[in-house]
Structure 1
Amino acid sequence: MTKALLYRRQAWLFMLLVVALLAPLAGQAQTHTVSGVITSDDGSPLPGVYVLVKGTSNGTATDSNGKYTIVAPADGTLVFTFIGMRPLERPVSGQTTLDVAMETDVSELDEIVVVGYGTQKKSDLTGSVSSVSSKEIRSVPVASLSQALQGRAAGVQVMQSSNSPGGGVTVRIRGGNSIQGGNEPLYVVDGYPLYNESGPTISPNDIESMEILKDASATAIYGSRGANGVVIITTKRGKPGKANVQFETYLGFQEVRKKLDVLNATQLAELINEGIANTNADNPTKPPIAPAFTQEQIAGLGKGTDWQDEIFRTAPIQNYYLALTGGDDKMQYAITGNYFDQDGIVINSNYNRASFRINLDRQMSERLKFSSSLTFSRSKRNQITSDTDGGSGAGVVYGALNFSPTVPVRNPDGTYTIDNRPGAIKINNPVAMANDIENENTTSRVLGTVSAEYTLAKGLTAKVLFGTNLVYEKIGFYLPRSTFSGLQVSGSAYLNNRQSAEWLNENTLNYKTTISDRHTFNIVAGYTLQSGSSEEFRANAQNFANDILNNNSLASAQQANPGSSEVLDWGLRSYLGRVNYDLDGKYLVTLTGRVDGASKFGKGNKNAFFPSGSVAWKISKESFMQQVAVVSDLKLRASYGITGNQEIGNYQSIGALGTQNYNFDNKLFIGYAPSRMANPDLKWETTTQVDVGIDAGFFNDRLLVTADWYRKKTKDLLFNVPLPVTSGYTTSLQNIGKVQNQGVELGIATINVEGAFSWTTNFNVAANRNKVLDLGNAKDVPTGSASGHLQLSNSGILRVGEPVGVFYGLEFDGIFQNAEEIANSAQKNAKPGDRRYVDVKQDGAINSQDRVILGQAQPKLIFGFTNNFSFKGFDLNVFFQGVQGNSLYNINRYELESMTGISNQSAEVLNRWTPTNPSNTIPRAISTTTSYQVTSRQIEDGSYIRLRNIQLAYNLPSTMLERVGLNSAKVYVSGQNLLTITDYSGYDPEVSRYGQETLSQGTDYGSYPSAKMYLIGVNIGF
């Protein structure tokens, strides 16, 4: 029985169990009429309070005098809810009169949000901060916390770099500031700052809330690491009261969202023969090339091998989470465990993670409190990507698209086929690659903090925090003989071990005071130290006697290749301060400053000061607004500040020596030579940002609107500047150039319907415009990765006035139809049926001077749209997410439309040009190799709208819960990526082959496809 089939059976058994739990229970309670008066905590009657019989849809509302009447079971429970008041539950207990006094809920009117080194009321924020609650995080089952941010906050773009299990995620907050430095945000987990390309590896189930700090007023408290935004993560902590146990699990399966249409065996054989005939016609003086297939062979080919069907599968996914929380007024605890396991839709790809967390809080006395957070996690990923074949540039998915359908998966002797077709190039068999290549990444992490808070005097608190982050990572790779690449070297093995250790010490003072009931101050001052070191070694060997030992015995190889090792250290010392001032609850001022000293920069440039200031005016608190009933809240904000970026790697400011191999007297010697030029003037990238925003509430906060306009300018960009060959170096890392990001953000939250049926909506949209302002002495700088094609290394360009990440090439202009068109063109050697390009320079030749900007990787709009519906215990969550205005570089089209027959072709080539089919999009078939050109044919619109998640849940009624001894129980079904609206021709528009690399965003080259996901889950509390 396959693993996928086993999980499907488990899912069906799980559903049957759920149905059994939901079966109607015998017996109906006796009902009678209950009436009463609802008042506030000051004794005033409350009109419009919603009164509901718990576990039913039977409800009513109080009248203008706060009175209500309802029919309820004698042993039932009434639930009272009202905006701005704490919800209450009262047992009927046979009573006919039940009066209730409700208390003001300060947390709902003034939600507390976590900011750098403290907390604030949301209504008192002067900076731009977005919040994502645990409810929003849990509504979409995801593998990483970075994915939980997608579409949830205005101005936060989350891109799945790879759709493979455990694949990387790219996060951009208000666009990218750097060209070659880091662009990922800083994550702060329970007070510990981390910079990690894919976000911290903690379970999303553990997260209580996430705050995204976006403008300089909010991020300047993190100084040299705040330029790319900050994501503050608060994990679940215990609360006084009865111990609570929460168990959540879901099971499901995944399917490939889309397959690409390619030629079958018969169609490809016909194209190959046609290309040979066209080539013979082009060269009448040369000996003709014989057809690759006879008509008898073509007649017997049929559809041949569907390589996509061979590598794709229905893949299971499962998640288990258990949490124990509770405590008393002296000590609170939260202990959680999580196991997540996901198989990929490509055979032999998978990811699993196990984590354990314990959070403790102990009130030692009225003045002293201890807190601790400790997480252990271990993840393992078997990575099937486009570069797991030992560097030949043809990955599993790429191979499935290009390998010839005219050959089988295996030869008659059981070995894998490596001949793409007789006489053609040999590439790796995609099934052999997926099944036999090992590319396993195992990461173990310990992340913890312990802190003590002591009240020195009224309003004055001192806090000392110590933390550590320990990571051990192992990568094991083996390329066997069953692949073509492995056969050439008789097996190749690679091992990489890396361990890193960080420690953190933060010492802060916080002082809160109010003077004359008008002037409120909240002051934070601190001194922090953080340091880290890492050790890494790499070893590789090839030419093994057999593949039995895989990469577990490098000593058995006949050829040991040179390995490498390194030790790195870094340190950061900081002084920080912030003053929040509140005058009459109407006028707010925040001043922040941080001094950072970092070891990464040159002598004399290691220290920098990062200040910010912001103001806010609560207009709704003014007397002239009290009669404007429609406006319940109105606040204007403005901020300006400076932040930095230090993510450049270690020791970049100093010169370095590298090993070099020399041949003396036919003997190999290893020596040292300069490999990097020193730059003692190297310093931070500095980002200045101005932000103007408005927060508004209407109709008693049934409509909430947040809008921001911002402008960010980054100077002293860290960039590898090309050097003359005579210098002895190729590049030098220098501070040159400027980049600007400017945009608007809008967030809208509405309560559309309240009562037995409720409907709420959240919508956010952001538009960002990125532009290069200066590149020093350079005018245009070619960019782009080689992507396996040497001709494509300059697929992009950096140009002043244009965004970072534009695609640069020739403009496709259709197909030559006849000799007259060729004679009047700049391509005199073309033939009818060949591709035509625009002669931009109009000099009668097509060359690099005719290249133009064809598109940009950065979207013009990003948005998220969520609707939540509730009725009679049922909850429905519908979440759409998308981007508009970006382009994708579809490198796959080079092979799929090469028309040479060397590899399989897209089904679109069935409409290729022939004398009887004058196509103007697909050229004629040929058999000679053509040079690749970056053209508008490969640059496609990457816009999409996606139904990211739809979830239907049922909350079991209290009457049923009481009989089975549960506090809560929810059963749900969920679907992800069920609908995607896009014009992109590839597997998925959410793709970036080169991960977080800024200059090669939006590139698709054999990328792992996305999957549709179907889940069923249960959440139980007792």
Structure 2
Amino acid sequence: MVSPMHMDKLVAWDTLRPPQTMVSGIVTDVEGNPLSGVHIKLESTGSGTISKLDGSFRIQAGTNDMLVFSILGFRTLRVPIAGRVVVNVQLEEDVTQLGEVVLNAGYYSVREKERTGNIATIKAKTMEKQPVGNPLAAMQGYLSGVNIVQSTGVPGGGYDIEVRGQNFINGVSDPMFIVDGVPFGSQSLGSFNVSGQILGGNISPLNAIDPNDIESIEVLKDADATAIYGSRAANGVVLITTKKGLAGKTQFRANVSSTLGRVSNFLDLMNTEQYLEVRREGVVNDGFGAFLDDPAFDFVWPDIKSWNNSRYTNWQKVLLGNTAYRNKAQFSISGGSEQTQFLISVSHQKETTVFPGDANYKKTSVHSNLNHHSNGGRFKINLSTIYTHENNRLPRTDFTNKAYSLEPNAPTLYDEEGNLNWEGNTWDNPLASLEEEYQVATNTLIANAMVSYAVMPNLELKSSLGFNKYRLDSYRTLPSSARNPALGLTPQNYSSLSTNGSERQSWIVEPQVHWTKRWGRTKFDILVGTTFQQETTEQLIQRGTGFPSNSLLENLAVAETLEVLQDSDSEYSYNAVFGRLNLNLVGRYILNLTGRRDGSSRFGPGRQFGNFGAVGIAWLFTEETLFRNSSLLSFGKIRASYGTTGSDNIGDYRFLDTYNVTGLDYDGSAILEPSGIFNPSFGWEENKKLEVALELGLFNDRFLVNSSWYRNRSSNQLIGIPLAATTGFSELTGNFDATVENSGFEVDVRTTNLQKKNFKWSTNFNITVPKNKLMKFDGLESSTFANRYIIGKPLSIVKLYNALGVDPEIGIYQFEDYNEDGEINSSGDRQWVEDFAPKYYGGLGNTISYGKVSLDFFWQFKKQRAYNELRFISVPGARGNVPVRLLDRWQQPGDVKPVQMATAGLSLGEDTGGLQRRSNAAVSDASFIRLRNISLNYKVPTLANGLDINVYLQGQNLLTFTNYSGPDPEQPSNTRLPQLRQITLGLQVGF
């Protein structure tokens, strides 16, 4: 029942609404082609609809209302209804329509033209042109200030991401991820104890989000953009917004594609003749040459004496040279009325690897969205869910290291009977590892509900409710059959099973009040809200050994010995109050104030709460009379921001006494050992952010440039302070008086080069020049961090020996003795400093369209240094293949060579090869320019009314220009598969 007082309010509300009538029409461009997806809104209420494929629309409106037609790439058009029931309009193309681009800032949205903070964005149309399975892969190179590196080319692997550098010495550098308003943990729950070398435990949870389901990704970088998220935003915020349904005729879309992937670059290794030459030479140099002719010692060097010395196998092609296939199908259905819209999308993909065997990765994802508003638009609700199941079945061993190191004359993989060949027990057959099994299954659920109600036209109450569940189950088997039978291993004395069962679950509730007031061209905006969040994590890692037979290997219950390697659970509670005040004076002076008071369960009593906030200002100087009629300068804005965010990225329960299960047992009982010591006095880390920026638009916004300078200073660093072994604890968590500074320049450029009737060409470019340094660290020289960090240098440095080359008389690597003590040791002689952080990075992309054909290509570049192949092997002569560059070695006194004399590793003495691997000789330029992706799309002429067909060809990592001698300059490792070169053929159908 409605009270008389409330009834009066409802009547008052209704009197604000003019008489309604149904208005219809068709939206076309100036050439008469229908435009679908055009937003048609009522200026008075903000409610609206979207044009259909044939350009038609229908909307309930007042007879004296104003319709606003808008879509990217066309000028916004305001049309009075003036009593009409049919309104047909034509939209003129616009170069950029900067003022109409709306960015998601999380709790609110803002027009790009009016933003006071730094928000980088990538849209669906860019991500859809890349054959990738992880959102981070689609972002690589596109966003200034965002450095993303793929950790492995194996399906399901992870990515490392930094937004404006590493802020904290001992903390997590990942930004905060939010998917449709729900915080999403990006940290893997995998374990190296189970996954081993293949993924190293780095299984990206973000694989659960299909890039084709994403509408946009925004990255919040400066204080003004991030402070409203408080402590969770110290490393930046990544907002992922998924697609939603559109009003109009029900539409069905299908997208099927097939991808081929191969390793793009192999190392230049020695052939059999070269390998045996340096191998024999190494044995002789070590003083064992006489034994080479003694048959009794043939077992010591089978590669020289027993194997076929004329055989050559390119193990890189055998173990890494297969073609990986990825087949993907996605189907979606969407539509709805003016008040209710829906979307349901289902996708499935299967991907294989370049390794031998039948390993594969499967992913099935379901995304749904329901959007509804009441008649008049006062009540709104949006429901969004993502559910993904992944099943990753890979070989436990990454064959990359074997491919680089197996002897070129190694035996064949199979004997004449088709069994694994052990060649008289003289080698470990690499394919034996295929007998091992590794499998990981993950289930991810992300659900969000956004409910709002307009109490008055300018006052809105809303609340976001989110739930996220991430479950990972993996196991690894090591059967005795995966080892040489001559070793006499049996299931009873060798076979083992390791399992990992992990789960992370969280919920969040965020009630909010939003009030807006306009006085002419002046606008006042206030947002106030609160956050309640809780997250729980559980992980159980077990290992069973000794099984009756290998057929029972997947049953832990029959294991003779069962160890608990890790049994942990934690709970994280978070509460906050936040607010935003935005003042826009006459469309040219903008003030934005944001603040948040955070409470975290990761700190002790009295330290749980912290206050964070920021101020952002902007001056749109082209709105001044002086610039309004400029033919050159069409847009100009100066903006600045300053504020603080915090960080509690230290893990749960670190201020309490904690214990771990050791995995050992005492008289049948598990043993607990102390792992953490009570310290309630440490508190929040703090990151102070400052930014100044200039944004310009020239030639009617055909040329847009956004340049910014930033400086972030992170202090009160939370660090694990090492303790003496006599205390029984490895470290004590506490705040150090240390400060890390990240500063730099970012430039983003967008240009429209040509725009004719059927031809368009646009370019986008970005570059980041970052700088990181440790400004302050009290007591560094006397701490255990003295060998890792230097005041005034970046956190990314490594200390190395200074290589002086090869002594031409004795043929041994020489190094600088910094402390002049007559010895080369790590305590005083590793003083050469190398920085592995990029000097600058960015990307250059072009989009060219002619008629129904469009071509997109994007180049990524990076200036950096990295370890080369000498990091992994620097001396020839030992068993195992090596790079051919090591053939240029010292052989006799007087030789001036870059490589020392060959050695088989049999002689005692100083390991100069090991010193060389830890010297500056093992570092070289790893800069590159890479054709990150290319996409060719052809829109098939319409065969039937409403039928939309597109055929596309896409490529990823097709070309790389670099002087780096390793397999991949972006991923310098000899143990992990480099990222693959991929080509995709696909078909999109819609009707």
State the shift of 1:226 in Å.
Answer: 0.6
State the shift of 1:211 in Å.
Answer: 1.2
Which residue of structure 2 aligns with residue 635 of structure 1? 637
Structure 1 residues 408-466: Cα deviation after superposition (integer angstroms, max 9, x where no partner): 324567554568994xxx6x543222x22222111101110112110011210000222
State the shift of 1:199 in Å.
Answer: 5.8
Among candidates 518, 526, 530, match of residue 527 of structure 1: 530
Which residue of structure 2 aligns with residue 364 of structure 1? 374
State the shift of 1:565 in Å.
Answer: 2.0
- Give, in whole Å, the separation in 1 of the partners of 2:847 and 2:723: 57
% identical aligned pairs: 29
Among candidates 879, 888, 896, match of residue 911 of structure 1: 888
Among candidates 807, 830, 850, match of residue 816 of structure 1: 807
Give 3-state SS (helix, strand or coil) of 1:531's partner: strand
1:1008 aligns with 2:985: no
Which residue of structure 2 aligns with residue 63 of structure 1? none
- Give, in whole Å, the separation in 2 of the partners of 1:614 and 1:747: 20
Answer whether contact 1:84 1:109 (CA < 8 A) is retained. Answer: no
- Give, in whole Å, the separation in 1 of the partners of 2:746 and 2:664: 58
Among candidates 476, 498, 501, match of residue 497 of structure 1: 501
Amino acid at match of 2:274: Q
State the shift of 1:328 in Å.
Answer: 0.9
Answer whether contact 2:566 2:661 (CA < 8 A) is retained. Answer: no
Which residue of structure 2 aligns with residue 973 of structure 1? 953
1:619 aligns with 2:621: yes
1:376 aligns with 2:366: no
State the shift of 1:275 in Å.
Answer: 1.1
Which residue of structure 1 aligns with residue 688 of structure 2? 688
Which residue of structure 1 aligns with residue 62 of structure 2? none
- Give, in whole Å, the separation in 2 of the partners of 1:437 and 1:965: 55
Structure 1 residues 152-179: Cα deviation after superposition (integer angstroms, max 9, x where no partner): 1111111101121111011111111122
- Give, in whole Å, the separation in 1 of the partners of 2:833 and 2:278: 30
1:882–1:549 CA distance, 2 compared to 1 (3 A): farther
1:101–1:167 CA distance, 2 compared to 1 (3 A): closer
1:939 aligns with 2:940: no
Which residue of structure 2 aligns with residue 997 of structure 1? none
Give 3-state SS (helix, strand or coil) of 2:246's partner: coil
State the shift of 1:874 in Å.
Answer: 1.1
1:915–1:673 CA distance, 2 compared to 1 (3 A): closer
1:512 aligns with 2:516: yes
- Give, in whole Å, the separation in 2 of the partners of 1:599 and 1:274: 63
Answer whether contact 2:598 2:611 (CA < 8 A) is retained. Answer: yes
1:520–1:295 CA distance, 2 compared to 1 (3 A): closer
Which residue of structure 2 aligns with residue 703 of structure 1? 703
For structure 1, list consecutive stretches of 5 or more residues without a partner in the other structure: 1-48, 56-74, 89-97, 390-394, 784-793, 819-831, 992-1002
Which residue of structure 2 aligns with residue 953 of structure 1? 937
Which residue of structure 2 aligns with residue 317 of structure 1? 326
Structure 1 residues 886-912: Cα deviation after superposition (integer angstroms, max 9, x where no partner): 22234x535543324222222222222
State the shift of 1:522 in Å.
Answer: 1.1
1:363–1:104 CA distance, 2 compared to 1 (3 A): farther
Which residue of structure 1 aligns with residue 747 of structure 2? 746
Alignment map for 1:120-135 (pairs within 5 Å):
120-135=110-125
- Give, in whole Å, the separation in 2 of the partners of 1:82 and 1:576: 32
1:555–1:615 CA distance, 2 compared to 1 (3 A): same
- Give, in whole Å, the separation in 1 of the partners of 2:602 and 2:824: 46
Which residue of structure 1 aligns with residue 255 of structure 2? 248
Structure 1 residues 609-642: Cα deviation after superposition (integer angstroms, max 9, x where no partner): 1110010000000001123221110000000011
Structure 1 residues 803-841: Cα deviation after superposition (integer angstroms, max 9, x where no partner): 1121221122221111xxxxxxxxxxxxx2221222334
1:725 aligns with 2:694: no
State the shift of 1:293 in Å.
Answer: 6.6
- Give, in whole Å, the separation in 2 of the partners of 1:614 and 1:591: 6
Answer whether contact 1:895 1:905 (CA < 8 A) is retained. Answer: no
- Give, in whole Å, the separation in 2 of the partners of 1:462 and 1:694: 35
Which residue of structure 1 aligns with residue 218 of structure 2? 211
Alignment map for 1:93-492 (pairs within 5 Å):
102=91, 109-197=99-187, 198=204, 200=206, 201-280=208-287, 300-312=308-320, 313-347=322-356, 348-366=358-376, 367-384=378-395, 388=396, 395-405=398-408, 406-410=410-414, 416=420, 422=426, 429-433=429-433, 435-484=434-483, 490-492=494-496
Answer whether contact 1:716 1:735 (CA < 8 A) is retained. Answer: yes
- Give, in whole Å, the separation in 2 of the partners of 1:842 and 1:199: 50
Give 3-state SS (helix, strand or coil) of 1:624's partner: coil
State the shift of 1:273 in Å.
Answer: 1.5
State the shift of 1:940 in Å.
Answer: 2.5
Which residue of structure 2 aligns with residue 828 of structure 1? none
- Give, in whole Å, the separation in 1 of the partners of 2:100 and 2:71: 17
- Give, in whole Å, the separation in 1 of the partners of 2:665 and 2:307: 58
1:445–1:536 CA distance, 2 compared to 1 (3 A): same
Which residue of structure 1 aligns with residue 22 of structure 2? none
- Give, in whole Å, the separation in 2 of the partners of 1:102 and 1:944: 43
State the shift of 1:84 in Å.
Answer: 4.8
Give 3-state SS (helix, strand or coil) of 2:283's partner: helix
State the shift of 1:300 in Å.
Answer: 4.3
1:418–1:528 CA distance, 2 compared to 1 (3 A): farther
Answer whether contact 2:642 2:689 (CA < 8 A) is retained. Answer: yes
- Give, in whole Å, the separation in 1 of the partners of 2:297 and 2:279: 11
Give 3-state SS (helix, strand or coil) of 1:148's partner: helix
Give 3-state SS (helix, strand or coil) of 1:694's partner: strand
Q: How many residues align?
A: 884
Which residue of structure 1 aligns with residue 649 of structure 2? 647
State the shift of 1:988 in Å.
Answer: 0.8
Which residue of structure 2 aligns with residue 33 of structure 1? none
1:923 aligns with 2:903: no
Answer whether contact 2:168 2:717 (CA < 8 A) is retained. Answer: yes
1:889 aligns with 2:867: yes
Which residue of structure 2 aligns with residue 838 of structure 1? 816
State the shift of 1:659 in Å.
Answer: 4.6
1:894–1:575 CA distance, 2 compared to 1 (3 A): closer
State the shift of 1:224 in Å.
Answer: 0.8
| Backbone CA RMSD of aligned residues | 3.2
State the shift of 1:1010 in Å.
Answer: 2.0
Amino acid at match of 2:318: E
1:964–1:896 CA distance, 2 compared to 1 (3 A): farther
Structure 1 residues 281-330: Cα deviation after superposition (integer angstroms, max 9, x where no partner): 8999xx99968679995894224333222212111112211121111112
State the shift of 1:649 in Å.
Answer: 1.3
Alignment map for 1:20-35 (pairs within 5 Å):
none
Answer whether contact 1:128 1:215 (CA < 8 A) is retained. Answer: yes
1:468–1:738 CA distance, 2 compared to 1 (3 A): same
Give 3-state SS (helix, strand or coil) of 2:550's partner: coil
- Give, in whole Å, the separation in 1 of the partners of 2:402 and 2:423: 12
- Give, in whole Å, the separation in 2 of the partners of 1:815 and 1:492: 47
- Give, in whole Å, the separation in 2 of the partners of 1:978 and 1:499: 38
Answer whether contact 1:779 1:800 (CA < 8 A) is retained. Answer: no
TM-score, normalising length: structure 1? 0.81
Answer whether contact 1:780 1:799 (CA < 8 A) is retained. Answer: no
1:124–1:895 CA distance, 2 compared to 1 (3 A): closer
State the shift of 1:769 in Å.
Answer: 0.5
Amino acid at match of 1:311: L
Give 3-state SS (helix, strand or coil) of 1:799's partner: coil
- Which has the larger displacement, 216-225 or 853-862? 853-862
- Which has the larger displacement, 402-411 or 449-458? 402-411
Which residue of structure 1 aligns with residue 84 of structure 2? none
Structure 1 residues 686-743: Cα deviation after superposition (integer angstroms, max 9, x where no partner): 1010000111110001000001100000112221111123322221122212211000
State the shift of 1:81 in Å.
Answer: 11
State the shift of 1:975 in Å.
Answer: 1.6
State the shift of 1:407 in Å.
Answer: 2.7
TM-score, normalising length: structure 2? 0.84
For structure 2, list consecutive stretches of 5 or more residues without a partner in the other structure: 1-27, 35-53, 57-69, 79-86, 188-203
Answer whether contact 1:146 1:199 (CA < 8 A) is retained. Answer: no
